[in-house]
Amino acid sequence: MKREQWFKPYFQAYYGRFTLIVFLGVLTAVSAAALMFTSGYLISKSALRPENILMVYVPTVLVRTFGISRAVIHYVERLVGHDAILRVLSHMRVRLYRILEPQALFLRSRYRTGDVLGVLADDIEYLQNVYMRTVFPSIVALVMYAVVIGALGWFDASFAAIMALYIFVLVCILPYASLLLTKAKNRQLKRDRNGLYQKLTDAVLGLGDWVISGRASQFVHSYEQDEAKVADIERSLSNWSKWRTLVAQGVVGTIIVSIIYWAGQQYADRQMDVTLIAAFVLVVLPLMDAFLPVSEAIEKIPQYRESVDRLLNMGSTAEASSTDEQARAARANAALEKIAASGKQVTLGIHDVRHRYGSDDPWSVNGVTLELAPGKKVAIIGRSGAGKSTLIKLIQGALTPTEGQVTINGVPASDFGDQIPKVISVLNQSPHLFDTTVGNNIRLGRLEASDEEIKHAAHQVKLGSMIAALPAGYDTLMHETGQRFSGGERQRVALARILLQNTPVVILDEPTVGLDPRTERELLHTIFQTMEEKTLIWITHHLVGVEKMDEVIFVENGEVEMRGTHAELMAREPRYRKLYQLDRPMLAKEGRLDV
């Protein structure tokens, strides 16, 4: 099975170390049992006032020997165990890196940051616990089970059979019951924790938007609710753990009572010395320390399976992407040749598309159908988290739909791969400007562009006179992230890049966020003027300028709630009129909301 790929190779590579760890674990348990056995014997023998101090000298030495050896052996066991597991963990991380790194961009487009973070920070850690908290303790418990029953059988075979039944409850029945009762909750706990990873990373990456939108408290409340769900599951598992411990301690109590009764009978039948009664009773306590952890160890198995499945899914995705890369490149090149031959006429098709990031996640995009003919202009509106960004990733081919299809001139958008910038360009909220000249920053749109083409693009976006007034013109350094320019000027530099890129489709991903109203209006006017002949997909959370779009689509919870022209929506959708009124208060005041 593929799942064994994350276990079997390490068992083979570290078989000797693992065997030593189990041996030391058994030796630790034996030393602890011997310590209590000799202590019980020593106490009983001393209480009988031995006629000679030499009668307790040997037990005294043995108590000191076993006490010291138990601590030393346990320390060596932990030392060897952690050394071996850290070596395994190192190999696992290197292996995971080698799987993910060659296809990092591909995986990043298909998995959220929280998913990748969960694999790197959580799943690998769980796999190291497989050895330390499940495999080794379980093997030690089984070995000690055989040792204890064998030792008791030497004294009394029938009593050994009874003890075998009691201990069987601790090492088999109770762990199995615990696994059945907590299996679903452990899986849910793992998934909900992964969800918290996703939500937290999304929030950190978009922290500015939460603050600007005034919804920071709403996010905190939502996160706390999800965290509370995780805490409820943990509380439920903790309550079961308490009940399981109560049952286990009840079995241990029964074993102690049975040992006392049996040892008393053995003494009464003169088959055992009275000094061994306390020895047999006390030896139960350290032996139970080897048996009791098995239930907790076994119930963690569903979490390990979840971790392995995620690793396998991500690894198979990377392998599949590498295998299909050449075929996708061939299809993309053929499609690009047809686009070039048609004069860059591109038709985008979104056909009953549904997408979600995980099989148990809600739909991020649910049943969206859209046809964008060459030159069509569409505004996609919705609150944060409504599914707008996922829809854009689907159009760019960065995500493959779970259901349905997104096509560019009939070819699946995902087939274009890294060729997609020849078809679609993006102007987002905060385009990165490099610490180089103004001209070089614009030239990123097309590296082979001439100086005249760069100047023409700058004039188109109304930057020509401003750049001419700079100390070194187009050779003026922009400084890191373009700090010497205003927000509107930085967006215009990015817009000039897109004009040089000259793609038939342009996505505007909320490019005016953070700009003052006047700068926003001026930038939108420039965008619409320079992009008149291109297909525009404008992602926005408010309605300033939407009247210039051919169609307005309102997205909520991944579904299209409203769609139509601006005039149609103003006429038939009260909610749309209210939103437009909030965004355009001056028009509302003047009574011109029907413009």
| Segment 101-154, tens digit of pLDDT | 555 545 555 555 555 555 555 666 667 777 888 888 889 999 999 999 998 888
Domain-embedded: residue 336? no
The total number of structural domains that make up the chain? 1
Q: Which of 320, 304, 306 is nearest to 110 (CA)?
A: 320
Domain-embedded: residue 98? yes
d(Cα 139, Cα 421) in Å, to the nearest integer? 56
Mean pLDDT, consecutive 10-residue stretches, the chain (595 aa), reads 62 86 92 91 82 77 91 92 85 71 51 55 68 86 91 87 91 87 77 71 58 64 80 85 88 91 87 86 88 82 70 58 59 76 81 82 85 89 78 83 87 78 83 82 86 88 85 80 72 86 86 76 83 86 81 86 88 84 56 41
Q: Nearest 5 degrees, angle CA 185-CA 190-CA 192?
A: 90
- pTM beyond cutoff 0.75: no
How many C-beta atoms surround the C-beta of residue 279 within 10 A? Answer: 22
Calculate the dihedral angle through the C-alpha atoms of 51, 53, 56, 61, rounding to the nearest 10 degrees: -170
d(Cα 151, Cα 337) in Å, to the nearest integer? 81
Block residue for tokens 């274009």: 416
Domain-embedded: residue 474? no
Q: Which two tokens stand for residue 85?
A: 């597991």
- Full residue range of the structural domain in which residue 288 is found: 2-311
Q: How many residues does the chain have?
A: 595
Domain-embedded: residue 479? no
DSSP string covering 34-96: HHHHHHHHHHHHHHT--SSTHHHHHHHHHHHHHHHHHHHHHHHHHHHHHHHHHHHHHHHHHHH
432-458: per-residue pLDDT in tens?
A: 778 788 888 888 888 888 889 888 888
Domain-embedded: residue 319? no
Domain-embedded: residue 464? no
* Domain CATH number, residue 260: 1.20.1560.10
Q: Which of 381, 331, 373, 371 is nearest to 351 (CA)?
A: 371
Domain-embedded: residue 301? yes
Domain-embedded: residue 171? yes
In this prediction, residue 98 carries a pLDDT of 67
DSSP string covering 160-197: HHHHHHHHHIIIIIHHHHHHHHHHHHHHHHHHHHHHHH
